[in-house]
Structure 1
Amino acid sequence: MRHRIITLSALSLLSLAGATGIAEAQPTSAHGPSAMVFTIAQGSGAATDTILRATTLTCAYTAEGTHPDPRAACDSLNATEGELNRLLAAPNPARMCPMLYDPVTVTADGVLNGKRVAWKHTFSNSCAMSATLNGNPVYAF
């Protein structure tokens, strides 16, 4: 009797899974799916900021989107392990920036490695942004 209940339960689960698509084979990878929108805006992160540039990036089997170097940007994003503050480096000490407050905000919104992300960072000016993001391909657009 117990074997029959287990068999019926297993069959019920399989038929439910087939109806909902759960039993479909899903591709696996080292990183979950990522689909992001990145912006660089003039301002301190308010809704009224002026978007200067924006790009999209999808990291799955292939790297694609409107980003000029999607493969390098995906590799850099994956290296953060979900901590987007790791995109920020110590400012290049050889680069001198003016002490002018003209804020620039960078954002990242979307799904990163299967998890929802909404991140932003404000720099004092565009020179400080360039010095801090120096060499990082994610915001090189």
Structure 2
Amino acid sequence: MKRSQVSCVSFELKESSVVRYRIAAVSAATLLTLAGATGIAQAQPTSLYAPSAVVLTVAQGEDEATVIRASTLSCAPTAQGTHPDPQAACAALAATAGTLDALLAAPDLNRACPMHYDPVTVTAQGVWQGSRISWKHTFSNACAMSATLNGNAVFAF
């Protein structure tokens, strides 16, 4: 091969490796852009509200298995469920700060109930502001339950 032919071949090799390098660089940049866009598209926004969904029951007897009434209540982001007044019930639960024994703190002292034993059990099961709750209380009878809860909206269903 003559020197002019060798330099021509050398120039073509340099030119083809530069072209290959540019193609590889453009391909890599395109892949990175697409991968970044895909990652952004799949990002899920986090919720501003901790979950609050509770099943409330009223049962006849000391065992919560004999449910006579039940209601569902979801408080975040809005009050809803099968409860007849979800806004009031959610407000009452929020006032307890998750300590459901606080529902028993304001009994109606002017209400007289019969002294017969016919137990009624109320329960709250579910999640309140992201924490699992399981609460149960048994009253001596329905009148005692009504007087103790004193019109509280949580179990007014």
Indicate the TM-score class for this superposition, using the shorter chain for normalisation.
0.7 to 0.9
Which structure 1 segments of 5+ residues have no match? 1-14
Structure number with the bigger relative contact order (C-alpha 8 A, sep ≥ 6) is 1
Q: 2:63 aligns with which of 36, 41, 45?
A: 45
Q: How many residues align?
A: 118
- What amino acid is the match of 1:81? A
Q: Which residue of 1 aligns with 2:80?
A: 64
**Cα deviations by residue, 1:93-121 (Å, 9 ceiling, x for unpaired):** 11100111111000000001101111000
Give identity over the alignment, percent. 64
The structure whose residues are more often strand, as a share, is 1
Task: Give the secondary-structure state (helix, strand or coil) at the position aligned to 2:91.
Answer: helix
Q: 2:47 aligns with which of 21, 24, 27?
A: 27
- What amino acid is the match of 2:131? K
Q: TM-score, normalised by structure 1?
A: 0.77
- What amino acid is the match of 2:129? N
Which structure 2 segments of 5+ residues have no match? 1-35
**Cα deviations by residue, 1:62-97 (Å, 9 ceiling, x for unpaired):** 110000000110111111111110111342111100
Task: Give the secondary-structure state (helix, strand or coil) at the position aligned to 2:154.
Answer: helix
Q: 2:54 aligns with which of 28, 31, 36?
A: 36
Q: Which residue of 2 aligns with 1:94?
A: 110
Q: What's the RMSD between the two structures over aligned residues?
A: 1.7
The structure whose residues are more often helix, as a share, is 2
Q: 2:139 aligns with which of 105, 119, 123?
A: 123
**Cα deviations by residue, 1:34-73 (Å, 9 ceiling, x for unpaired):** 01100000011254xx211100000112110000000110
Question: Whole-Å Cα distance in 2 between the matches of residues 83 and 105 of structure 1?
Answer: 17
Task: Give the secondary-structure state (helix, strand or coil) at the position aligned to 1:86.
Answer: helix
- What amino acid is the match of 2:83? H
Q: Which residue of 2 aligns with 1:5?
A: none
Question: Whole-Å Cα distance in 2 between the matches of residues 46 and 57 of structure 1?
Answer: 18
- Relative to 1, partners in 2 of residues 1:25 and 1:109: Cα closer, same or farther, differing over 3 Å? same
- Retained in 2: the 8 A contact 1:40–1:107? yes
Structure 1 residue ranges (4+ consecutive) displaced by more than 2 angstroms after TM superposition: none
